[in-house]
Structure 1
Amino acid sequence: MVTATTPLEAELLQLAGSVPDPELPVLTLRELGVLRAVHVHGTDTAEVELTPTYTGCPAIEAMSLDIERVLRRHGMRQVTVRTVLTPAWSTDDITDEGRRKLREHGIAPPRARRAAGPVPVTLGPPRTLPAAARKPGPAGTPVATGPVRCPHCGSCDTELLSRFSSTACKALRRCLSCREPFDHFKEL
């Protein structure tokens, strides 16, 4: 999904990708999967394509300013950050490294869907059910793979406290084994 066609574009893509996410500073924009492309025009003009985690995400402005600052420091006179909504961002875009970092910082990473097409939404009990008790979504597509594991102790015995946490992208859960609350990055 991330594209660069010249060595300079690849270098600028790496620099822009190293910018920390303003809401989850443990992740870079590359690890979060929101950086789509960098295009260079001439020798000192860059256009960056960025996809927000959801339409109306308030962090997109901060991300854009941080990218502009980093690329200007690298010699780009003019930097334009363009919001690209298609294809939409998905939690499947978070890299394995990003998932590891979320877990290390006490945030349960989203469960991988890896299925193409619409995201099925199911409403059910707030407790995580064992894998054998969950039913697949429409047409057999997986709703999510695996339970929401506690990032502190690894237990699957967790409950939902609130569908929204510190950001709209996360839910607040509690582990029933170690009793610790934790954020869960919701699957999109």
Structure 2
Amino acid sequence: MAPILTRFARLSALVAIAFMGATAGAAEPPKFAGMAGDFSPIDPPEQIATPNFQDKMGQPVNLDSFKGKVVVLNFWATWCPPCIAEMPALDRLQSELGGQDFAVVAVSTDREGIKKSAPFYRRAGIKHLTLYNDTRGNLLGAFQGKSLPITVLLDRDGRVVGRIEGAAQWDSAEAKALIAHYLKEHAS
């Protein structure tokens, strides 16, 4: 009888370890509060078909080109004071974490496109964010953005894992912990 109990105990322990491992990736993301609202996780993640937007040369870009990276997708405009307030933090975040696994994609919704956003980048000293524009608001509409700024967090598969409306301190320890959570979740 003892060998059966011992095997049962080992099996139970293995099942418990496997279960803990399976649920560890499904842990709740860390809390992150913005100035007007909190980060709202989306579970299960949503796949959204997205239209193209433009790079600084006016060439089409699609979010598919960022697959494999966790992306902070931020919508902003030069006429939006909360957007302007958070841009330096987004720039610092890209400077610190941007690379093979992570990117900040800040998309201007200014109707005048690069004519408005490029001078703003120069005046504000934004050096690490690439200029992107969504002059028609199609990309913002795909994410059901109703006000600015709005930031959507995408996982490595390009799925929406959460969002926050309003400005946030994106270079804070809390923001970095949130990003680290999603970087670890599906690490390659």
TM interval, shorter chain, is: under 0.3
Higher relative contact order (CA 8 A, sep 6+): 2
